[in-house]
Amino acid sequence: MMIDQYIMGGVISFLFGFSLFYVLRKKAKSRALTAIQRHESLKSTGKGECRPEISGNTDIIIVGAGVAGNGRRVHVIERDLTEPDRIVGELLQPGGYLKLVELGLQDCVNTIDAQRVLGYALFKDGKNTKLSYPLEKFHSDVAGRSFHNGRFIQRMREKAASLSNVRLEQGTVTALLEERGTIKGVQYKTKTGQEMTAYAPLTIVCDGCFSNLRHSLCNPKVDFPSCFVGLILENCQLPYANHGHVILANPSPILFYPISSTEIRCLVDVPGQRVPSISNGEMAQYLKTKVAPQIPPELYSAFLSAVDKGNIRTMLNRSMPAAPCPTPDLLRPLYDLNDASALYKYLESFYTLRKPVASTINTLAGALYKVFCASPDQARKEMCQACFDYLSLGGIFSNGPVALLSGLNPRPSCLVLHFFAVAIYGVGRLFLPFPSPKRVWLGARLIVDASNIIFPIIKAEGVREMFFPTIVPTYYKI
C-alpha cells in the first residue's frame, strides 16, 4: 500500500463494511428504526458489554467492530471497545460517504470535527495540479470526509449498539468452532477473562489486518510493500484547502490531509518493511534530511515542529487481493432458517456487486503506487511523468481516474482504459517530433512495463471475478 492505496485502499474496506451493513440491514430496517428511538447512546453494563443479552438464538456473529459489521440478531464481539487511536482509516472517499448516506449513517461524521475533502492535489518536481472529485451531479453535501479514525469508529459502534437486535460485547475471539468443514460459531475470552462459546448459523470474521483467524479460513497472499510514518501537523494551512495532498517524492509518496479543523495528518511512505529507528533518533534525522526538503514550503516548518515534538507513529502497509473464500459449507446451516434462501441471495449479490468495485480500487491503488514510486528505470520515469501530465490535462483525463479513486465510479473497464491511455500518451510524446530508434525502444519498454504492472495485479484479483462477476460459479461468491 502507499499513498494512493492509503487514500484509496481504505475505501475498499469502508465500502466493504458499509455494503455488508446495507445488505444485512435492509430486512431489519423497521426493527432497527424503532430501536434507535429507544436507545440513543452506547450503553455499557460496565462489564464490557454494551447491550443486554438478546433472548433466543443469534443469527450472526461478527468478529471485530472496526469499520466492517451489522444484521439480524447479531452478536458483535470486539476485542477493545475503547476509542481506537490509530493512524489508519482517516480519509473516507465520496463513494464511502454515499454508502453512509444510503445506510442512514451519515450523522456519524457530523459531530467529530470531520473535514470535507473535495479532491486531491498532486505535487511533482515543483509543479502541482488540482484534481477535484467529479461531484457536480451529487447533492452539495456529498464529498469525502477526513477525521480521527477512533472518533468515527466510536460513532459507528454507538449506532450498532443502539439497535435492539445487536449485542456488542467486549471479548477476544480465540478460535472458530468448526464441525465437518462448517463454522458453527466462535470461542472467545470475555473482558473478565472468562472462556465462552457462541453459536450462530453465520459467522463473519472482519478482524482487520492483525487477524489471527484469517489463516484458518483461507490462504491470503498478503504483500507488505511499505510502511507509513505518521505525524500530525498543527498551526498550518494546506496549499489547497479541503484537498488530500500527494507529493510524488523520492523514494515514494508523502500524503497530507486534514483530520480536524486544526490538525493535518502527514503520512510518509517508506518502501520495504523496515523503517529507521524512532528510539535512537534515526527516524527524526531521516524525516528532517530526506523528507522535509521535498514537502511544500507552506508545510515545512509545521512538519519540522511535528518531528521535534516526537509523536511519530508507524504502520506496516498490507495489500491483499479481495478474493472470496470458496467455502460452500459456510451457508449450509442457513437452510435451517426460514428465510435462508433470501439471505443466500443477499450474500450472492453482495459478492457479485462488491468484487468489481473492490478489485478495481485495489488494482488502481497497487498500480499507481508502482508508477509513483521513484525508479532509476527510464521507462518507469516516463510513465510517472506521463501519468502526472495526463491527470493535469483535466476534463475526462482527470475526472475518469479521480472517479475511480474516489469510489464514485469504480468500473474495471474504465481502469484499464485510463491506465493504457496514460501509457499510450507517454509513448505518443516520445515519438514527437521524430520517433528515433532509441525513443521507439523506450516507448516499447514503457508499454511492456505498464503491462507488467497492471496484469499481475488483475490476475491476483481474478480476471473473471473482476470483469465478469455474474459468470463466476455461485459457490465461489460465497
Ligand X SMILES: Cc1cc2nc3c(=O)[nH]c(=O)nc-3n(C[C@H](O)[C@H](O)[C@H](O)COP(=O)(O)OP(=O)(O)OC[C@H]3O[C@@H](n4cnc5c(N)ncnc54)[C@H](O)[C@@H]3O)c2cc1C
Give the interface with ligand X as residue ranges (CB under 6 A).
Answer: 6, 9-11, 13-14, 17, 63-68, 77-80, 87-92, 172-173, 206-209, 212, 228, 315, 317
Q: How far is the CB of 256 from ligand X (least distance, A)?
A: 12
φ, ψ (nearest 5 deg) of residue 464: -65, -45
Location of C-alpha cell 450498532: 160
- CB-CB contact of 462 with 325 (8 Å): no
- Min dist CB 153 to ligand X, Å, is 7
Output the CA torsion 469→470→473→478 (10° steps). 70
**Would you say 18 or 419 has its CB closer to ligand X?**
18
Of 177, 166, 172, residue with least CA distance to 192 = 172
Q: Tell me how far, at minimum, the Cβ of 348 lies from ligand X, in Å.
A: 21
Question: From residue 424, how far is each of 62, 379, 386, 450 by CA, in Å?
Answer: 46, 13, 9, 10
Q: Of 301, 243, 240, 233, nearest to 268 (Cα)?
A: 233
Please state, as a whole number, how many other Cβ atoms lie within 10 Å of the Cβ of residue 127.
Answer: 11
CA distance 258 to 424: 35
List residues bridging with 92 in a β-sheet.
145
- Alpha-carbon span 77 to 170, nearest angstrom: 6
Nearer to ligand X, 404 or 442 (CB): 404
Alpha helices in 26-174 (DSSP H): 29-38, 94-102, 149-161
Closest residue to bound ligand X by CB: 10
Query: 87 or 231, CB closer to ligand X?
Result: 87
What whole-number distance in Å separates Cα of residue 4 and Cα of residue 336?
A: 44
Cβ proximity to ligand X, 96 vs 401, nearer residue: 96
Rounded-to-10 torsion of CA 387, 388, 391, 397:
-30
Q: How far is the CB of 307 from ligand X (least distance, A)?
A: 18
Cis check: omega of the bond before 251, within 30 degrees of 0: yes
37's CB contacts (< 8 A; 6+ apart) are: none
Task: Tell me how far apart the alpha carbons of residues 191 and 169 are, in angstroms, rounded to a whole number.
Answer: 9
Q: How far apart are CA 364 and CA 356, in angstroms?
A: 12
User: CB of 391: closest distance to ligand X in angstroms?
Assistant: 20
Q: Nearer to ligand X by C-beta: 39 or 191?
A: 191
3-state SS of 104-134 is CCHHHHCCCCCEEECEEEEEECCEEEEEECC
Nearer to ligand X, 68 or 183 (CB): 68
By C-beta, is 240 or 397 nearer to ligand X?
240
Question: Could you tell me the three cell numbers for 94?
Answer: 465520496
Shortest separation between residue 269's beta carbon and ligand X, angstroms = 9
Q: Which is nearer to ligand X, 226 or 399 (CB)?
A: 226
Distance CA 454, CA 370 (A): 10
Measured N-to-C along each axis, helices 340-372 and 437-461 cross at an angle, to the nearest 10 degrees, of 150
Shortest Å, Cβ 9 to ligand X: 5
Minimum distance, C-beta of residue 224 to ligand X, in the bound complex (Å)? 10
**ω before 296 within 30° of 0 (cis)?**
no
Closer CB to ligand X, 60 or 65, in the complex: 65
The least CB distance from residue 67 to ligand X, in Å, is 4
**Is the CB of 45 or the CB of 413 nearer to ligand X?**
45
Of 185 and 426, the one with the shorter C-beta distance to ligand X is 185
Q: How many CB atoms lie within 10 A of CB 369?
A: 26
Closer to ligand X by Cβ: residue 276 or 337? 276
The least distance separating ligand X from the CB of residue 412, rounded to whole angstroms, comes to 20
In the complex, what is the shortest distance from the CB of residue 165 to ligand X, in angstroms, rounded to a whole number? 20
> What is the nearest approach in angstroms of ligand X to the Cβ of residue 309?
19
Place of cell 460517504: 97
